[in-house]
Chains A and B, each alone.
Chain A
């Protein structure tokens, strides 16, 4: 099993919420999008993507429905709930504070 440990704790949730905020998507499309936007820097294995999605669903932040894809197969599409929108706002703000703090520390020059 790989990778969520490579990501800062909780950032996968943020990424997934952000991606779904743009448009409802199925799991496969999410994995493609993840790879594409992060330019392969963030590696999320397919095996750990689904538990993460299910966790968000159980939290009530995203909701799923079965819909046909372009090539007419049934797929599970996830979309953000209103709770999810709030959660995304909260986590983005958190992330902003955290990354700003960390980059400040990293930029410190030795005296």
Chain B
């Protein structure tokens, strides 16, 4: 409609809506004027005043009808009707507060569960990065000879990509995760930073909260620019949000750096779920790194995450084909490092936390949204049932409405408005519940001091979702009762006088309850499977003994210790701890099993022929001090442990796990054989020991190839000291801390926790626990809703059949036969629901199967025990109203009207 049109009509519409009495008065006056003129005309023609009036009126036709026709032209009837319906609906709800309360609460639980889970999905999958044109940002990854998908690139590879992709990407940026110590006013604390390329912030195109960002000229890996940009939250907590910090010089790992700016509040870095504390130029990583990333030959020193911004109008497919060309070119130019390379480009939003062709996160999100949706359906069924009961009670009212000329459509509209009002109330309460729920979800303890960001914020997407869900709920809940209520023959209703025993109606209600029982059974089966899976993971043989081990994470580099000083520190600390009472053994390692840091590299094994068509060999590894295997009780099968004699200048050695020994040297002892990790081709590692397999970063699946290197040969400043104790490990925290402080008063300790607790990480038990907890909550919610449904339908049946029961009892029916009669209906519903639930659960099994381990998604034991439990509880819900039926006094029942 053209704008000009609204210029004339909008004031009219507004007037019709908000100045209704004025408009009405105008209308009367206008028509009255006409009549008066007519009367004058007839008077002038000589008629008597009575006759003139009569004639004028007759000619006019129906005055009221004409007025009504004029009103119909105003085009705001829908709005007026809606307002009227809203008022009426609110009044009806206000009249029965008990019903309203239960219905709103039921809907709030359903909508709340959905909102909470959606807020999670939103923050994982939907929320765009707070940068310019976030849909242009892509994540790059590569594979070598169809091996695992890798996201860490080397600096030379990053530079090649930057130079060769200018036709499809406007910018290619890289970041490298780093940990260090930040010293401010003589106090050092651990800090997690990104070392970024110089074009990082210009490519993202965001504005700093304070000061400035790192400049393109500062990012070159060779130019040294000692500057740091602080993360917003870190600036708020460590510097109390002091703006004067910009321009000050602080120390990172003992080196002076100047604070040049503060990142904006909503920007947390490109890694989802992490809240970076600082950003420094990539060159700063080289200051005291053990690795030289800048030498062009070190193409295999891969740990830089690479992102690229698509040029406007360039599609993924175009970018992908450009990368295909570049990959084959790189492979041809660098056969040693990039042979068989394929590059992949992925939308950033679907690559959280890593690009994943299997879309695991999406699957998890779908699963949970389905489960939450099911809870909502159960809630809807309950409320629809309530409304059906109410519709029965309101039959008279509706019959009168129809008798007075209300059309069926108008009646349906009014009933739907009522149910939507109900659902919106439920929606509002649901959002509040969901807020509480997502707070609870956000407070999951990840058992790490890493700056993890889990905030399931409520943004417009979440509110929009809740609104749509609430409106749909209102429509679904209201449609069936409204159609049924309005479809009845009014004469029949008035004649019946509300005494009907309407069989078809209770059949519908029973069918709804069957759905409820089925749905809740499915939820409970899924929850049962998740709980069993958690149990399995908790009980699974880890290959090491996590009990009575205390972990302490330290980073001597943070206070400026160089490698030799750091090694000396760890050696002395371990010796001191060893002498403490209650300590069995102590060791240090770069990472602990199921920790958040994992080293991984591709392998070259002289004499080992990679079978045709299989991936290039790779393995995880860890740098450990002598005594590590004793501390974690990992049995040494062959050879020797590391000793203090394994130093940087002696032969480089490794201890490998059984899986690695079996793969590369299946027919002989692995001892004495040598291999290389491609990240460090300079050193051949000689196998000096073989240990039993133990799990390192996955609770499920077979243990993969893994090796250990001496801490002294591949030193990492950031390391975890592990202490095996004879007492509960918590009791030794103070004395061990004292030893650290005695050795180095400034040394920050970032994490102290028992190993048993450290198993509950994202790659450890946390997700199992989370899945079991969440599905358990949803299952419980579903169960409660189904019980309310069963209880409600049986209670209603009893109340409808009170007369019948009275007659039966008067004719001599015993209590037990009445009980049987009522229970029979309940049992029918429960078993039909059971069958439906099993079918539903079997249908979901393939999706659920991806997320459970140690238990089949068709596990008969779970199906059987959960069904039995549900039947028992549901029978109780039937028994209570059935029992009431047997207490009916025949005399009262017969008089009952």
Residues of A at the B interface (CB closer than 8 Å) are: 1-2, 26-28, 31, 45-48, 50-51, 54-55, 57-60, 63, 66, 73-76, 81-83
Give CA–CA (A45, B61) in the complex, Å.
7
Residue interface mask B45-70, A partner, CB < 8 A = 1:
00000000000000111110110011
Which 7 A/B pairs are nearest by Cβ-Cβ distance? A47-B61, A60-B8, A51-B69, A47-B66, A28-B37, A54-B73, A55-B73
Does B61 contact A1, Cβ atoms closer than 8 Å?
yes
22 A-B residue pairs with Cβ-Cβ distance under 8 Å, sorted by A, are A1-B61, A28-B33, A28-B34, A46-B34, A46-B61, A47-B61, A47-B66, A47-B69, A48-B61, A50-B30, A51-B73, A58-B9, A59-B9, A60-B5, A66-B26, A73-B33, A73-B36, A75-B30, A75-B33, A81-B8, A82-B4, A83-B4
Does B38 contact A47, Cβ atoms closer than 8 Å?
no
Give CA–CA (A5, B37) in the complex, Å.
26
Interface of B is mostly: helix
Measured between C-beta atoms, what is the minimum distance from B76 to chain A in Å? 10
Residue interface mask B742-772, A partner, CB < 8 A = 1:
0000000000000000000000000000000
Q: Quick one: which of B53-97 are within 8 Å of A by CB?
A: 59-63, 65-66, 69-70, 72-75
Q: Which of B33, B63, B65, B72 contacts A27 (CB 8 A)?
A: B33
Residues of B within 8 A of A75 (CB): 30, 33
Can you add 20 more A-B contacts, CB < 8 Å, to A26-B33, A51-B66, A75-B30? A1-B62, A2-B61, A27-B33, A47-B66, A48-B61, A48-B69, A50-B30, A51-B69, A51-B72, A55-B73, A58-B12, A58-B74, A60-B7, A60-B8, A63-B8, A66-B26, A73-B36, A76-B30, A76-B33, A83-B4
Residues of A within 8 A of B5 (CB): 60, 83
Give CA–CA (A76, B37) in the complex, Å.
13
Give CA–CA (A2, B65) in the complex, Å.
12
Residues of B within 8 A of A28 (CB): 33-34, 37-38
Does B70 contact A51, Cβ atoms closer than 8 Å?
yes
Is B873's beta carbon under 8 Å from chain A? no
Does A50 contact B70, Cβ atoms closer than 8 Å?
yes
Give CA–CA (A8, B616) in the complex, Å.
85
Residue interface mask B817-854, A partner, CB < 8 A = 1:
00000000000000000000000000000000000000
Residues of A within 8 A of B63 (CB): 47
Residues of B within 8 A of A63 (CB): 8
Is B31's beta carbon under 8 Å from chain A? yes
Give CA–CA (A58, B13) in the complex, Å.
8
Is B29's beta carbon under 8 Å from chain A? yes
Does A50 contact B31, Cβ atoms closer than 8 Å?
yes
Residues of A within 8 A of B9 (CB): 58-60
Give CA–CA (A58, B61) in the complex, Å.
23
Residues of A within 8 A of B33 (CB): 26-28, 73-76
Residues of A within 8 A of B36 (CB): 73
Which A residue's beta carbon lies closest to that of B8? A60
Q: Which of A50, A57, A58 contacts B66 (CB 8 A)?
A: A50
Which B residue's beta carbon lies closest to that of A63? B8
Residues of B at the A interface (CB closer than 8 Å) are: 4-5, 7-9, 12, 26, 29-31, 33-34, 36-38, 59-63, 65-66, 69-70, 72-75
Give CA–CA (A47, B30) in the complex, Å.
12
Give CA–CA (A46, B36) in the complex, Å.
13
Residues of B within 8 A of A45 (CB): 59-61
Does B30 contact A58, Cβ atoms closer than 8 Å?
no
Does A76 contact B73, Cβ atoms closer than 8 Å?
no
Does B60 contact A46, Cβ atoms closer than 8 Å?
yes
Q: Which of B37, B65, B73 contacts A47 (CB 8 A)?
A: B65
Residues of B within 8 A of A66 (CB): 26
Residues of A within 8 A of B60 (CB): 45-47
Does B34 contact A27, Cβ atoms closer than 8 Å?
yes
Does B8 contact A1, Cβ atoms closer than 8 Å?
no
Does A48 contact B37, Cβ atoms closer than 8 Å?
no
Does A54 contact B61, Cβ atoms closer than 8 Å?
no
Residues of A within 8 A of B38 (CB): 28, 46
Residues of B within 8 A of A73 (CB): 33, 36
Residues of B within 8 A of A51 (CB): 66, 69-70, 72-73
Give CA–CA (A46, B74) in the complex, Å.
19
Does B8 contact A74, Cβ atoms closer than 8 Å?
no
Which B residue's beta carbon lies closest to that of A2? B61
Give CA–CA (A59, B4) in the complex, Å.
11
Which A residue's beta carbon lies closest to that of B60? A46
Measured between C-beta atoms, what is the minimum distance from B77 to chain A in Å? 12
Measured between C-beta atoms, what is the minimum distance from B71 to chain A in Å? 8
Which B residue's beta carbon lies closest to that of A51? B69
User: Known interface pairs A73-B33, A76-B26, A83-B8. Does A58 touch B62 (Cβ–Cβ under 8 Å)?
Assistant: no
Q: Which of A50, A57, A66 has the most CB of B within 10 A?
A: A50
Does B12 contact A48, Cβ atoms closer than 8 Å?
no
Does B12 contact A47, Cβ atoms closer than 8 Å?
no
Give CA–CA (A55, B66) in the complex, Å.
12
Does A58 contact B75, Cβ atoms closer than 8 Å?
yes
Measured between C-beta atoms, what is the minimum distance from B27 to chain A in Å? 8
User: Known interface pairs A31-B34, A76-B26. Does A54 touch B70 (Cβ–Cβ under 8 Å)?
Assistant: yes
User: Known interface pairs A27-B30, A31-B34, A76-B30. Does A57 touch B12 (Cβ–Cβ under 8 Å)?
Assistant: yes
Give CA–CA (A47, B74) in the complex, Å.
17
Does A74 contact B59, Cβ atoms closer than 8 Å?
no
Which A residue's beta carbon lies closest to that of B6? A60
Residues of A within 8 A of B8 (CB): 60, 63, 81, 83
Residues of B within 8 A of A46 (CB): 34, 38, 59-61, 66
Give CA–CA (A1, B59) in the complex, Å.
10
Residues of B within 8 A of A74 (CB): 29, 33
Residues of A within 8 A of B34 (CB): 27-28, 31, 46, 50
Measured between C-beta atoms, what is the minimum distance from B75 to chain A in Å? 6
Give CA–CA (A54, B73) in the complex, Å.
6
Residues of A within 8 A of B66 (CB): 46-48, 50-51
Measured between C-beta atoms, what is the minimum distance from A34 to chain B in Å? 13
Residues of A within 8 A of B26 (CB): 66, 76
Does B74 contact A54, Cβ atoms closer than 8 Å?
yes
Measured between C-beta atoms, what is the minimum distance from B635 to chain A in Å? 90
Measured between C-beta atoms, what is the minimum distance from B221 to chain A in Å? 68
Give CA–CA (A28, B32) in the complex, Å.
10
Residues of B within 8 A of A54 (CB): 70, 73-74
Which A residue's beta carbon lies closest to that of B2? A83
Which A residue's beta carbon lies closest to that of B67? A50
Give CA–CA (A83, B12) in the complex, Å.
15
Residues of A within 8 A of B65 (CB): 1, 47
Give CA–CA (A2, B69) in the complex, Å.
13
Which A residue's beta carbon lies closest to that of B4? A83
Give CA–CA (A76, B190) in the complex, Å.
81
